[in-house]
Amino acid sequence: MTVTDDATQHYFVQQHATPGAAHDPTTAPALFQPLTIRDVTFPNRIQVSPMCMFSAHPVAGIATDFHLVHVGQFALRGVGLTMMEAAAVTPEGRICPNDLGLWSDTQIAPLKRIADFVHHHEGKLGIQLAHAGRKACMYAPFVPDLGRGLVPESDGGWPNAVVAPSAVQWDMTMAMPHELSVDEIQALVTSFAAAAVRCDQAGFDVVEIHGAHGYLIHQFLSPVSNTRTDAYGGPLENRARFLVEIVQAVRAVWPAEKPVFLRLSCTDWVASSSWDIDEVIEVAKLVAPLGVDVLDCSSGGNHPEQKIPVGPLYQVPFAHRVKEAVPSLKVVAVGLITSAQEANEVVEEGKADAVMLAREFLRDGWVYHAAHELGVEVAFIDQYRAGKRRPKM
């Protein structure tokens, strides 16, 4: 028997309902209510948080079959939105040599293959646009004996091409970064916009600007990493200028019908830093009118002396503060949200419009467990219907 290319593209599936969508949204718990942002409707409020997989082609930054399987599984299991990992807008912006990239047109087709698969199963797909700044050029954390060490040129690294807003190392294990000139900053803004165009060509539904976790945009926002005295340093308005210019450039090329997300660290967790939720709210008020639709509220990652009070739902208050202060923005809560009840309460109580989970999705499919726990019947893909359990009464 010969399998035609056309048949392969259709994956032998006829969808009858969107996986993860409640059979009756009008009576479903908050977590399983659909969410529409611009012209994109997500079937529920459960989202996969971006997780670096360090599994792209080590030179070309191209997505591999690993990404197809890793990302594709979430569409099969009813996730409302899958946010793919950070994709670097320049080769020097990678955290590790095996990071995804979006600096070249050659990177579009492998990503489009993934987007096509997700869309065939009625899923929604996003991707982060990122630059690691002073945290670039590191080994992946699971490389034996080298995890998180600086990658030398002899092993494919670029330690002499690491950049930042200021020549301030994250710590002594990382590269001493070159301070970006204004011309170099403007070139990076252009790189973010060019990457957004490639995202659209690949078919993504959402693009997320990565301004968190101590990477380049966060480095500009925080005074612990930004010691500049020009128009990009000093007062918050100046420290936020790089982000504002990126948002303007991305929104100018990203389709008006598609949402733009922004992930921010809502505090440095460092007593000496002014970058905290109050400054985040001021920045949120700046970017919302420029076309940011959703603020994805994380924290930390910009200083080795950070003291993070990790615990269940520890970052949810940040999302709640932003949602109250900037009603025009949708917000996403992240961080040790593990149970269906917790996730549903975050949305039901108006603390966030959606939740993102990461490690829970590395452990299992989660969505169908959550639906069963909350007593809501949701759609399965045809091939997985045999896994349905009787509704919880």
Which active-site residues does the annotation give? 215
Q: Which residues pair with 101 in a beta bridge?
A: 88
Contacts of 16 (CB under 8 A, 6+ apart): 379, 382
Three-class secondary structure assignment of 196-231: HHHHHHHCCCEEEEEECCCCHHHHHHCCCCCCCCCC
The rounded distance, in Å, linking the Cα atoms of 75 and 357 is: 15
* Residue type for position 153: E
The rounded distance, in Å, linking the Cα atoms of 133 and 162 is: 6
Strand runs (DSSP E) across the chain, as ranges? 35-37, 40-42, 46-48, 81-88, 100-101, 125-130, 163-164, 178-179, 206-211, 260-265, 294-298, 330-333, 354-357
Q: How far apart are the first and last CA of the chain?
A: 47
Report CA 222 to chain centroid distance, whole Å. Answer: 20
* Residue type for position 230: D
Q: Which residues pair with 125 in a beta bridge?
A: 82
Whether 128 and 86 have beta carbons less than 8 Å apart is answered as: yes
The rounded distance, in Å, linking the Cα atoms of 360 and 364 is: 6
Radius of gyration of the CA atoms of the chain, in A: 21
Q: Which residues pair with 296 in a beta bridge?
A: 263, 332
The rounded distance, in Å, linking the Cα atoms of 130 and 348 is: 31
Question: Phi/psi at 354 (nearest 5 deg)?
Answer: -160, 165
Name the strand (E) or helix (H) holding 195.
Answer: helix 182-202
Q: Which residue has the tokens 């979430």?
A: 74
Residue count of the chain: 393
Angle at 290 between CA 285 and CA 294, to 5 degrees: 65
* Residue type for position 24: D
Q: What is the number of H-type helices and E-type strands within the chain?
A: 12, 13
